[in-house]
A and B are shown apart, each in its own frame.
Chain A
Amino acid sequence: MAQISLTVNGRHVEKDVPDDQILSRFLRETLGLTGVHEGCDTSQCGACVVHIGGRAVKSCTTLAATLDQSEVTTIEGLSPIDGDLHPMQAAFQDNHGLQCGFCTPGMIMSAVGIVERSRESGVALTAETVRDELDGNICRCTGYQNIVQSILDGAGRLTQTGGAEK
């Protein structure tokens, strides 16, 4: 067992975790954050994407034991409880950016990362760059058209509000 002390969605968490436990399992089963989805479990589909230290990563390919002193944000932590949806979540809702919804948490966490990187690099997002950046997220309903539209809309909303990560 490894003892880890970290921040998850703004909350301090201290837990003993098995050395070989994958982060997605820890978030879902120990912390009950079931918005973290496990699709392929082989780093392909991106349903499990969370942010560690503000960067999008695949939680199915990260060991929980490695996260001592880190800061994790899942889809549950993107907007405040009982508060408004995060602008990217609202954009997905308004643009019908989901069908079955299984890939959506990962899509939204990746989308926020895409907007952050675009802001840092100063390169504006286009439908083409969004599609390219979505390389690591798979939608089995194949609803990419509306997902790309949602991300472009969400990027616009985030530029207005001035921050991707609240």
Chain B
Amino acid sequence: MSGFSYHSPETTKAAAQLLSEKSDGCILAGGHSLLPAIKLGLNAPSDLIDIRKLGLSGITEDGGDILIGATTLHRDVAENARVKDRIPALAVLAGSIGDPMVRNAGTIGGSIANNDPAADYPAAVLALDATIITDRRQIRADDFFLGLFETALEEDEIILSVHFPVPVRAVYRKIKQPASRFALTGVFVAETSGKARVAVTGAGQNGVFRFSQLEAELDRRWHPSVVEGCSLGDMSLIADIHADAEYRANLVNVLAKRAIQGVQRDSSPT
């Protein structure tokens, strides 16, 4: 395809070693963003280091919270009884990513490390105040997503798992871009540790972001009508042939309102 070498290490240490040794090594976790990017010539790594043999797949409970391994498939998050019970909005979100074949191969670690501005998972990670656990440290969601396809991860750092505190309530609503099946715009609303958190994907030019004005309003009064007084102001939003910035700004409010309305009844995110 483009002449890279493939490696399938069996320990995290060996994977980290390969990443630091190779001139332009890249982690392969599910490949559903990376392989298309390589085909399109948007990425040309010298080496692909497959982390699917590191035992990083699986969902466990950690002091009541949910811990999801980096290479856990979207489908497995969507169908997991524990996730469905504790954070149903997260299961619904995972079950709405891409299409069934994508969900059979794509991973949570891959999605958040890639930080596509229209990906679903970053919204959940940010709104649920999750912590990203890597092979060397723990990173709070607020410090993790830095910008368009940019995260706080070092070049040779590997995500091991994502730790989700169980929220009081949470709902995700999105409109899908029908061709790419990415979120045209998506809003994840949560109340966690007594605070409202609202994360928006598919709208910010620098990727996922928090709608802090709406969070403050929700902290005062949890009601759909508070959305009406909120605005993203002059924040510059994504504009493309599918939706201009003004349309997206309106979608953010519409979806936020739907999410707050739907917060007690968990139905489809679309």
Taking Cβ atoms with an 8 Å cutoff, the residues of A that contact B are 2, 19-22, 41-44, 46, 49, 55-58, 61-63, 65-66, 68, 110, 113-114, 117, 120-121, 133, 135-137
Contact = CB atoms under 8 A, between A and B. Distances in A.
Nearest to A65: B6
Interface residues of B, number: 29
B269 to A, nearest CB: 12
Interface of B: 1-6, 8, 28, 31-32, 35-36, 39-40, 48, 50, 52, 75, 79, 98-102, 104-105, 179-181
B99 A135 contact: yes
A10 B105 CA distance: 22
Contacts of A136: 98-102, 181
A114 B4 contact: no
Residue in B3, B36, B100, B102 with the greatest tally of chain A CB atoms within 10 Å: B100
Residue in A20, A62, A117 with the greatest tally of chain B CB atoms within 10 Å: A20
Contacts, number: 80
Residue in A41, A114, A136, A137 with the greatest tally of chain B CB atoms within 10 Å: A136
A120 to B, nearest CB: 8
B39 A41 contact: yes
B104 A57 contact: yes
A61 B40 CA distance: 12
A118 to B, nearest CB: 11
A10 B211 CA distance: 53
